[in-house]
Amino acid sequence: MISSLISRASIIVALPLVLLACSTDPYAAKPLTAEELNLIRNGEGLMRVTTIDNEADSLLLRSKSTFFIDEDLRSEEYAILAGRMVATVTDPSQDGVGIAGPQVGILRRVVAVQRFDKEGEPFEVYPNVHIEPVGDERQIGSEGCLSVPDMRGEVERYSKIRLMYTDPVSLEPVEELVEGFTAVIFQHECDHLDGILYIDRILE
């Protein structure tokens, strides 16, 4: 009798905690909003890059990005977004090596990264991306950011990471190891998805 009372009590305590955790997960997948769809569909080619010297942009750049639902990854809008992100970062006006969703006003876990570790150094787009460090080795390098105009700084990053994302065609999870400068770019871009800017990490 006592044990059943205890277990019932623990269920009653645990249930609201589980519900609370689900409803407040800032990364939880949700459908693209009407506002996001408009931003993706309206205009062609380049997207406006958000910068910290604009107050509304600054708030957005400090927000966390959510995952895409599968249906949206299969949509025409996702393909348009991916294409426009690459067009934006590769445009001579920006000339970057990577760009993240919040930098084009879309709070979604998506980054476009130039793969210096692949032949031809192509730009590739990774939806529902997340990374984790592999090993303790780190390297220090100079970084800049399209969203932080006219500035550079030295930042320490892991030398090797595990890259995880969803293949937008098969919708299967993909995992690979990335090293060197390309791994640094992934760390910089994935920080954007957590509302972190490289200026937070500049070495004194």
10 Å CB burial of residue 42 (0-12, 13-18, 19+) is exposed
Between 145 and 193, CB nearer to Zn ion: 145
Residue 189 Cβ vs Zn ion, minimum distance, rounded to whole Å: 7
Judge whether 119 counts as a catalytic residue.
no
The answer to whether residue 184 forms part of the interface with Zn ion (CB under 5 A) is no
Between 60 and 145, CB nearer to Zn ion: 145
Residue 43 Cβ vs Zn ion, minimum distance, rounded to whole Å: 22
Task: Compute the distance between CA of residue 171 and CA of residue 76 in angstroms, rounded to an integer.
Answer: 15
Residue in the shown chain whose Cβ atom is closest to Zn ion: 145
Between 104 and 145, CB nearer to Zn ion: 145
Both tokens assigned to 145: 């950011």
Both tokens assigned to 152: 């550079």
The answer to whether residue 104 forms part of the interface with Zn ion (CB under 5 A) is no
H runs (alpha helix) in the chain: 2-24, 34-41, 55-61, 70-73, 76-90, 180-192
Contact set for Zn ion, span 145-174 (CB under 5 A): 145
Residue 192 Cβ vs Zn ion, minimum distance, rounded to whole Å: 6
Residues 121-150, one symbol each (x = binds Zn ion by CB under 5 A, - = not), give ------------------------x-----
Between 8 and 152, CB nearer to Zn ion: 152
10 Å CB burial of residue 153 (0-12, 13-18, 19+) is middle
Count the site residues for Zn ion by CB under 5 A: 1
Residue 151 Cβ vs Zn ion, minimum distance, rounded to whole Å: 11
> What Cα–Cα distance (Å) separates residue 130 from each residue in 127, 153, 185, 191?
9, 24, 13, 10
- The contact set with Zn ion (CB under 5 A) reads 145
Among all residues, which ones are annotated catalytic?
189
